[in-house]
């Protein structure tokens, strides 16, 4: 008899399995329908021996010392600050837009103060910021919006930014200094031996059994357990009773090249040309030294594995109905990106899972106290 059946061995499921086994001495079966642990953060050495991320680049960054300290129990880190270039008007320029971006793009030599004036002169103030287009145009004006954001967003989401909720680009920063880091979080680092090794360390406990290549519905009736942690898609759990929750998906094209470096930055974005959105070269992320180099192209698409929940009022309405079912199913804990239909970064999923664990353990303590 297991105490917990954990569905999904990504961050959400693995954090909970680890905490339940280590802190509460629970017996846990963690199961995934894929043939590996790690969920979308899974990485592996390809046939040429280069460490790659199967489901696109995963870069760890967080402001939470709790999350960073927790994960540090299972990995050492390699300090890594992410940088991205965008291919615009035949040049590669830093993104997020900063002083160097504008100076290089227009052949100028503006100071920070002059850039502030420039952006203020091109920005188109809006009374109400409703869409993603409003967010960007009100900050950097139409021309930069067209060059950097409009087509990228159309490719990524399949709709024009003018029809996309403002939350999608709400966090696009513009900097008047020369800071060209993609993230500014306090902790920016990659697991020294990769994500999968970190997951292996998390799940390495005698109370945790792992079952791969298995959908939970195949074994649910033949295995006994007390409670379930579910990290798969919430609409699927309820047999799509209120219809499918829409997602954007991606196709990944992995390549290895017979040379040490492929491009001048970890990621190059292609807002305007090509059907793909960006190209990632993994060795920058992992720090691996190798005579060859591996890259991945990302092609956004409508169908396929669910990756990005599409934020818009209609989808929020559908999710609300599923959330009511979730609230009426207290014996199952719905955790993670797919189960809560929300785009979370890895650190946010870890934080969410740690919070759910706290709730579970205080309930346990209360029950023990009551039964005494
Ligand atoms: C292309 C891409 C790039 C990203 N880059 C970053 C980044 O740079 N930084 C960052 O912080 N975050 C990034 N993220 C987000 C990150 O992937 C998620 O935050 C994280 O993977 C969420 O973990 P999770 O456990 O909720 O879900 P997942 O990792 O999706 O794990 C859920 C698991 O459940 C399994 N499952 C589902 N249904 C069933 C079932 N019925 N039976 C058995 N198993 C099931 C799935 O196979 C899956 O392995 C990126 C996401 C994508 C798509």
pLDDT digit string (tens) for the chain, length 372 residues: 999 999 999 999 999 999 999 999 999 999 999 999 999 999 999 999 999 999 999 999 999 999 999 999 999 999 999 999 999 999 999 999 999 999 999 999 999 999 999 999 999 999 999 899 999 999 999 999 999 999 999 999 998 999 888 888 766 678 888 999 999 999 999 999 999 999 999 999 999 999 999 999 999 999 999 999 999 999 999 999 999 999 999 999 999 999 999 999 999 999 999 999 999 999 999 999 999 999 999 999 999 999 999 888 889 999 999 999 999 999 999 999 999 999 899 999 999 999 999 999 998 888 877 877
Q: pTM higher than 0.85, yes or no?
A: yes
**For residue 71, cis peptide bond before it (omega within 30 degrees of 0):** no
What contacts 115, CB < 8 A, 6 or more positions away?
99, 102, 176
Distance 268 CA to ligand 1 centre (A): 23
Write the residue with the smallest CA distance to atom 38 of ligand 1. 232
Please report whether residue 146 resides in a domain: yes
Whether residues 196 and 326 share a domain: the answer is: yes
CATH number of the domain at 24, please: 3.40.50.720
**What is the spatial distance between Cα 170 and Cα 45, in angstroms, rounded to a whole number?**
35
Q: CA 5: distance to chain centroid?
A: 24
Answer with the one of 170, 203, 219 that is the final residue of a domain: 170
- Which range of residues forms the domain containing residue 141? 84-170
Please report whether residue 218 resides in a domain: yes
Domain count along the chain: 2
Q: Which atom of ligand 1 is nearest to the CA of 348?
A: 19
341, two tokens? 């239909």
Indicate whether residue 53 lines ligand 1 (CB < 6 A): no
**What is the spatial distance between Cα 220 and Cα 338, in angstroms, rounded to a whole number?**
20
Whether residues 9 and 134 share a domain: the answer is: no
Residue 162: DSSP 8-state:
G
Whether residues 96 and 163 share a domain: the answer is: yes
Q: What is residue 168's predicted lDDT score, i.e. its pLDDT?
A: 80
Indicate whether residue 15 lines ligand 1 (CB < 6 A): no
Asked if 341 and 312 count as a contact pair (C-beta separation under 8 A), the reply is no
What contacts 30, CB < 8 A, 6 or more positions away?
6, 8, 9, 13, 14, 17, 37, 203, 208, 209, 210, 211
Whether residues 166 and 195 share a domain: the answer is: no
Write the residue with the smallest CA distance to atom 2 of ligand 1. 56
What does the mean pLDDT of the chain come to?
95
**What is the spatial distance between Cα 60 and Cα 75, in angstroms, rounded to a whole number?**
13
Q: Which atom of ligand 1 is nearest to the CA of 8?
A: 34
Q: Which atom of ligand 1 is nearest to the CA of 82?
A: 8
Distance 120 CA to ligand 1 centre (A): 39
Distance 338 CA to ligand 1 centre (A): 8
Indicate whether residue 337 lines ligand 1 (CB < 6 A): yes
């Amino acid at each position: 008899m297991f105490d917990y059946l954990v569905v999904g061995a990504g961050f959400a499921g693995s954090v909970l399995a680890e905490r339940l086994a280590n802190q509460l001495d629970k017996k846990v079966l963690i199961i995934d329908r894929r043939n590996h642990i790690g969920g979308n953060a899974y990485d592996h050495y390809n046939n040429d021996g280069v460490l790659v991320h199967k489901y696109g680049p995963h870069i760890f960054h967080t402001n939470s010392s709790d999350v960073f300290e927790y994960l540090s129990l299972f990995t050492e880190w390699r300090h890594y600050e992410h940088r991205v270039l965008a291919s615009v008007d035949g040049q590669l320029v830093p993104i997020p837009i900063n002083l160097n971006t504008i100076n290089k793009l227009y052949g100028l030599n503006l100071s920070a103060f002059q850039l502030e004036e420039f952006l203020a002169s091109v920005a188109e103030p809006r009374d109400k910021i409703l869409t993603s287009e409003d967010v960007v145009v009100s900050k950097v004006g139409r021309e930069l919006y067209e060059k950097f954001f409009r087509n990228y967003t159309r490719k990524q989401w399949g709709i024009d930014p003018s029809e996309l909720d403002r939350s999608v680009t709400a966090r696009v920063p513009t900097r008047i200094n020369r800071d060209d880091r993609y993230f500014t979080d306090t902790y920016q680092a990659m697991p020294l031996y990769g994500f999968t090794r970190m997951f292996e360390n998390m799940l390495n406990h005698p109370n945790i059994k792992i079952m791969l290549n298995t959908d939970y519905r195949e074994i649910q009736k033949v295995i006994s357990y007390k409670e379930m942690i579910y990290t798969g898609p919430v609409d699927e759990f309820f047999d799509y009773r209120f219809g499918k929750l829409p997602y954007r998906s991606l196709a990944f094209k992995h390549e290895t090249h017979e040379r040490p470096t492929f491009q001048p930055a970890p990621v190059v974005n292609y807002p305007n040309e090509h059907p793909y959105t960006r190209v990632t070269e993994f060795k920058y992320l992992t720090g691996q030294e190798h005579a060859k180099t591996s890259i991945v192209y990302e092609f956004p698409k409508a169908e396929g594995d669910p990756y990005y929940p599409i934020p818009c009022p209609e989808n929020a309405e559908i999710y609300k109905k599923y959330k009511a079912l979730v609230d009426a199913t207290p014996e199952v804990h719905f955790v993670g990106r797919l189960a809560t239909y929300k785009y979370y970064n890895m650190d946010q999923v870890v934080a969410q899972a740690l919070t759910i664990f706290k709730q579970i353990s205080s309930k346990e303590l209360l029950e023990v106290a009551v039964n005494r």
